[in-house]
Amino acid sequence: MMKVPFLDLKAQYISMKEEIHAAIQQVLDKTAFAGGPFVAQFEKEFAAFCGCREGIGVGSGTEALWLCLLALGIGPGDEVITVPNSFVATAEAISFCGATPVFVDVDPRTYTLDPNKLEDYLKKRSQESETGNQQPATSNVFSARVPRSAFRIRAVIPVHLFGQPADMDPILDIARKYNLGVIEDACQAHGAEYKGEKAGSLGDAGCFSFYPGKNLGAYGEAGAVVTHNSELAGKMRMLRDHGQSKKYHHDVIGWNNRMDGIQGAILSAKLKHLSAWNESRRRNSQLYSELLKGADSIIVPGEAAYARHIYHVYALRVQNRDKVMNSLGERGISCGIHYPVPIHLTDAYKFLGLGRGSFPVAEQCADEFLSLPMFPELTPEQVEYVATEIKRLI
Ligand SMILES: Cc1ncc(COP(=O)(O)O)c(C=O)c1O
């Protein structure tokens, strides 16, 4: 029996041990632990990698989304659209601004925000709000960038789930029409492309997580926002550092969301390898899909014509998923589920009153998704073993 882990962070560490140790040593030598030159250097490099002018390093992907929403002026009474099949952090960031997440279902092929459903939903809500009262803009931190009206929807967060970008052109057109901010949740899409442009560079801003298991992972918690908008970047830089533009001069109420120096230095060292790692994930995914071709009861992930998918997660759809997952476990193969409960059905978001049946595609995905082992160092032999065992089981 072959052992195939879901993820192998040790293999990657060993492959670049000297570079990692040198990166950490630099920070120790300079004692630049909180923010500082190594974070600034990484911000510059990562923004350039994404094709953006500005990069803002923060403590996590959740913080990146949160600060971005605050900087756009989103606050209590506002609503922000996202999808129900994401990691819960996408909705939490909205809630932590005092705003309310509203969900629109996903496309059944790409598992990302369905632009047609988005347009239908906005049309319905704008018709409903035509007779509502007009309120002036208020916000808990900055004044609203988008004028407020009885129509409370202020922004949309498409999620580039598993490393495949959402269909951004129609989403951006619709957002423009309804005067919405667009924040890309690119927490799983480092280096993914939409029509040749990097994920994170298409909307008002793109948010990334460098949680250790991501395609670009820190050695602890970290995140970043990239944007072309210098004014927005300036606001986020203030917010992450106690609202100060100058030491001990606090212009707005902020928080402490600075990235650690050690994470900045490690991320700079790892960024040099990201494209090669993404290539390797793409090769592994292609091999999985080829080997699983004959298995009719399985749906393998597809790559949209507009996309360059970077397979943070390689998720199959299978009937009797839990049984298949347990049997694979018995054969030494570790799998994951991303995610077993769509956000609207979690206990945390029960208060929204959205029951089962509200978002049929997301709900079916949650029942059927099975994430196979996926990391750059996975060998073709391991991929073949996993595919053979799956075919034997179904
Ligand atoms: C889609 C998505 N959004 C947001 C986050 C939050 O990132 P972090 O864990 O760095 O806070 C993640 C991380 O798993 C994610 O996958």
Q: Is the pLDDT of residue 139 over 70?
A: no
How sure is the predictor about 55, in pLDDT bands with cuts at 50, 70 and 90? very high
What pLDDT does 132 receive?
Answer: 58
What pLDDT does 142 receive?
Answer: 53
User: In what side-by-side order are the strands of the sheet with 205-209?
Assistant: 54-58, 223-227, 205-209, 181-185, 153-156, 79-82, 100-103
How sure is the predictor about 296, in pLDDT bands with cuts at 50, 70 and 90? confident
The tokens of 114 are what? Answer: 């369905």
Q: Any residues with CB less than 8 A from the CB of 59 and at least 6 apart, and which?
A: 221, 222, 223, 240, 257, 258, 259
- Answer whether 185 contacts ligand 1 (Cβ < 6 A): yes
What pLDDT does 129 receive?
Answer: 84
Record the pTM.
0.95
87 C-alpha vs ligand 1 centroid, how far in Å?
6
How sure is the predictor about 130, in pLDDT bands with cuts at 50, 70 and 90? confident
Which residue type does 59 have? G
Q: Provide the Cα torsion 276, 206, 62, 333; round to 10°.
A: -30
Which residue's CA lies nearest to atom 12 of ligand 1? 187
369 alpha-carbon distance from chain centroid: 18
What pLDDT does 149 receive?
Answer: 57
- Answer whether 159 contacts ligand 1 (Cβ < 6 A): yes
Query: How far, in Å, CA of 197 to CA of 12, rounded?
Result: 27
271 alpha-carbon distance from chain centroid: 17
* 182 phi, psi to nearest 5 deg: -125, 115
- Answer whether 112 contacts ligand 1 (Cβ < 6 A): no
How sure is the predictor about 87, in pLDDT bands with cuts at 50, 70 and 90? very high
pLDDT digits (tens, 9 = 90+) for 235-266: 999 999 999 989 999 999 999 999 999 999 99
How sure is the predictor about 138, in pLDDT bands with cuts at 50, 70 and 90? very low
Report the nearest atom of ligand 1 relative to the CA of 211: 10
Query: How far, in Å, CA of 205 to CA of 66, rounded?
Result: 12
